[in-house]
Amino acid sequence: MEFSLRYPSHIIFGEHKVRELGQQTKVFGTKSLIVTGKNSMEKSGILREIADDLEYYGIKHYVFDGIYGEPDTEMVDQVRRMIEEEKIDFVVGLGGGSALDVAKAAAGLYGQNLPTAEYLNQRPFEYQGIPFVAIPTTAGTGSEITLNAVLYHPELGNKNSLAHPGFQSKCSIVDPVLTYSMAPEITAMTGMDALTHAVESYTSKMANPVTMAMAGKAISLIAEGLPMAVKDGSDKMARSKMALGSMMAALAFAQTGVGVAHAISHPLGALFHIPHGLANAILLPTVIDYNDRCCHHQYVEIEKMLGIQKRFGDFVRDLLMLLPIPQTLTAAGYIKGKEEELIRKTFTSRSLSKNPRLVQEDDVMDILQHCL
């Protein structure tokens, strides 16, 4: 057995830990840029709280609040320009996966001369980045742990992963309190993304005892916490389980990669703008059944861990039905006619090589048919 593990330098977890931002980041310099979504953090008062804390430690802050919808290379270019113009020392991503991925890519590409789209097209570069600090406000994407940013390329209509070991955050603050205001639909979608990370990591060809321990615990936490967090967003215990479950799923999948659900969900996002977590939520029960012949033993382990009498795929199917989100790809916005393009884009994903079952083109069609 052999494996290597790569993690952010510092992970802080706990309620109200966001208040430690200034204290933890003063070593990075005196000029920060907060990358966030329009209005939401401002409305909830979190942005003000963070800004006050940074100022207390003598750190000047700038705000880029142009994150909306899918994160794309143009948003990263805008943030990179702001970093250069204002001579920013470190970047704080505050928000869901979109804000974190844009902040991460912009900080990581500091010192590079070409537009972000070039690097998304696999152009190699030597990392010269500035520190990236991650503060997630959803419980799902795991971007506070991973070393990649998933970005949309507006000209090619593709979603791809831009990755470098230097991209990993220098400090991640996972504060469940920041997720309290998340709407039930977003809680459901991001939570199912986290569950998909955990399941695909647990059964990944790259899984090892360390990642399986974390992915297994993440599956238990999310299975318990998700229905409660969706039903009552103010349930602190449920929110804490989801924040921890999501983070542990990311600690696992950042090492092992994911699988065929993610390989299909990225083009579904690029072609039909189906949110990433929603696409995974709809695909996951079918993907579990599809992979069963190659990882039945792992599913039995999960069933024992959860203490359930039904098959794991059916358990996830029943969980999905409890959630206030579209239950089929058609209801989510899928339109027939682009199957060829979708399959071609699915097969550009590196995630397929980690999937326990060798995926053929017909298999992708079958999975899609089951989910329409």
Residues in contact with Fe ion by the rule CB under 5 A: 193
What sign has the CA pseudo-torsion 105, 107, 34, 256? positive
**Minimum CB–partner distance for residue 96 and Fe ion (Å):** 11
Q: Which is nearer to Fe ion, 132 or 253 (CB)?
A: 253
CB of 276 to Fe ion, least distance (A): 6
CB of 283 to Fe ion, least distance (A): 11
CB nearer to Fe ion: give 74 or 193: 193
To Fe ion, the closest distance from the beta carbon of 284 in angstroms equals 11
- Pick between residue 131 and residue 267 the one whose CB is nearest to Fe ion: 267
Question: Sign of torsion, CA 33 37 42 44?
Answer: negative
- Going by DSSP bridges, is the β-strand pair 148-153/158-163 parallel, antiparallel, or unpaired? antiparallel
Q: How far is the CB of 126 from Fe ion (least distance, A)?
A: 28
Cβ-based neighbour number of residue 186 at 10 Å: 22
- In total, the chain counts a number of residues equal to 372
Please, are residues 160 and 64 in contact by the beta-carbon 8 Å criterion? Answer: no
41-45: list long-range contacts, CB under 8 Å, 24+ apart. 41/94, 41/95, 41/137, 44/181
DSSP state of 159: E
State which residue, 217 or 266, has the beta carbon closest to Fe ion.
Answer: 266
Q: Which two tokens stand for residue 328?
A: 């089929």
Question: How is residue 73 written in tokens?
Answer: 């290379």
Residue of closest CB approach to Fe ion:
193
Could you count the other beta carbons within 10 Å of the beta carbon of residue 370?
Answer: 16
Amino acid at 233: G
Do the beta carbons of residue 325 and residue 230 sit within 8 Å? Answer: no
For Fe ion, the closer CB: 223 or 263: 263
Residues paired with 95 in a beta bridge = 136
Q: Which is closer to Fe ion, CB of 238 or CB of 254?
A: 254
Task: Determine the angle formed by the axes of helices 276-306 and 209-231, rounding to 10 degrees.
Answer: 110
Closer by beta carbon to Fe ion, 53 or else 193:
193
Q: How far is the CB of 197 from Fe ion (least distance, A)?
A: 6
